Homo-oligomer: A and B are copies of this chain.
Amino acid sequence: MSFHLGEDGQLSAQRGGGGMVSGLLTVASQAELLWVCAALSEADRKAARAAPGGLLELDGRSSIRMLDIPPDTFDRAYNGVANSTLWFIHHMLYDLPGQPRFGAGFIVDWESFRAYNRAFAVALAGACDGQPRPPRAVVQDYHLSLVPRMLAELRPGVKIAHFSHTPWAPPEYYSVLPDAVAREVLEGILGADHAGFLCQRWADAFADCCAAVLGAEVDRGRGQIRYRGHVTGIGVHALGVDAPGLRDRAAKPDVTAQAAELAQRAGGRKLIVRVDRTELSKNILRGLAAYRELLVARPQWQGRVMHLAFAYPSRTDLPVYREYAAAVQELAAQIEAEFATDDWTPLVVQADDDYARSLAGYRVADVLLVNPVRDGMNLVAKEGPIVSDRGCALVLSREAGAAAELGEAALLVNPFDVTATAAALHEALSMSDAERARRSARLAAAGAAVPPARWFADQLAALG
């Protein structure tokens, strides 16, 4: 949820992107919730200050408390620590010989991260006062990993869940963090009564880190971690798609028109589609390299296939992301130069974000390529088959959390192996219509198994 200031000085609300926000909004309309979040813009701050009692209306009986965190603190906490450090650790994105270098500047960032987390803990503590029953707090994601312990110390009676939307790093990689930071993040989450993850693999890695770094006692059979006398239950909640809502949206005229346009562009050729932010973890470069190797190793596909790569801007404030985006464009241009003919465009890379066109891409794809080097879940892999018009084959990285649920019906690949990815694309393109439709139906069912409302309710239920 974000706000915009119109020219008339009026605030208007807008929903954010991404699977988590979409999930939470679905839930907010069905329960009595207070949603605590940080103001991201000047308009957000204005809305926060103008709200009566500090509360903005959401849907139904729910409301929002938007925290007015000082911009510098927010920037250091959100960008410096969360997105440039913890994100890189959990996705194993560092070029370790040179990065990260934890120096004096990081200590300032870390203090900001603490302050940012404390602001949330204090707001939640305040909201808990005067509640008739023991209140339940559900803390979302790695930006807020210190909140559970802080809140538990402020209000010992509150029931607290934490949920991690990222992968979790194995101990040998997690230990790259400064020792005190590595401990504090784990101790922060272990302040919760329940710690949730998107798949068993990340839950296991978290437990491994708790054992290796903290010496915590892990009971894998019961799914519990005991640390300093407190027990945290570990749960897997595999966030899925609100299938009816997504299908409704994908059936709207704007999407249908774009789907027709994409189909016309393909001109009867098979379509390989990917939809990603241009995020280092999404592995767009190796995806393009695999498409190139497909065309070289299986020349029968030349002229008979088209690759639509939707690669939307992401974190363009960081040089390493800008360089990555430039490398994507460069490799795309090479492929174009190598293979394009007068009547065949082998590859189209679209960098301008267009949600309706993304849904249109899902609808017309013969093959959906989802090959992240590492991904907490990946909702694209679940959304595509749900709205596919004729069923699509899914080439899926085994390093995505979604592989745990979709693996059987997808074609799983090692995302670092370009040759294997090219072979999987060939297999996907070669699949009979019947086989593809059968697999796609199973993918769609698995992707819709845990819709956001149930996913959230499960976290609440885990608190008793």
Contacts and interface: CB of A to CB of B under 8 A. Distances in A.
Contacts of A100: 416
Contacts of A417: 102, 178-179
A136 to B, nearest CB: 33
A104 interface: yes
Contacts of A337: none
A168 to B, nearest CB: 10
Interface in A172-227: 172-173, 175-179, 205
Contacts of A205: 172
A172 B175 contact: no
Given A103-B293, A104-B297, A173-B173, A97 B373 contact: yes
Contacts of A95: 94-95
Given A170-B170, A417-B178, A96 B92 contact: yes
Contact of A178 (B102, B289, B420): B420
| Most chain B Cβ neighbours within 10 Å, of A102, A106, A281, A296 | A102
A102 B416 contact: yes
A324 interface: yes
A51 interface: no
A106 B419 contact: yes
Contacts of A178: 414, 416-417, 419-420
Interface string A90-114: 0011111110111110110000000
Contact of A97 (B106, B175, B179, B283): B283
A286 interface: yes
A437 interface: no
Interface string A270-314: 000000000011010110010001001100000000000000000
B419 A104 contact: yes
Contacts of A289: 101, 103
A417 B104 CA distance: 10
A76 B94 CA distance: 27
Interface string A34-59: 00000000000000000000000000
A97 B176 contact: no
A418 interface: yes
A345 to B, nearest CB: 23
Interface in A330-374: 373
Interface in A404-430: 414, 416-420
Given A103-B419, A107-B419, A98 B172 contact: no
A420 B96 contact: no
A101 B286 contact: yes
Nearest to A178: B417
A461 interface: no
Contacts of A420: 102, 178-179
Given A102-B417, A179-B414, A419-B104, A97 B281 contact: yes
B96 A327 contact: no
A104 B170 contact: no
A414 B100 CA distance: 12
Nearest to A285: B98
B416 A103 contact: no
A296 B178 CA distance: 20
A175 B171 CA distance: 16
A296 B179 contact: no
A93 B97 contact: yes
Nearest to A106: B419
7 contacts: A94-B95, A96-B416, A100-B416, A101-B418, A102-B417, A172-B205, A179-B417
- A-B pairs with the 4 shortest C-beta distances? A95-B95, A97-B280, A103-B418, A170-B172
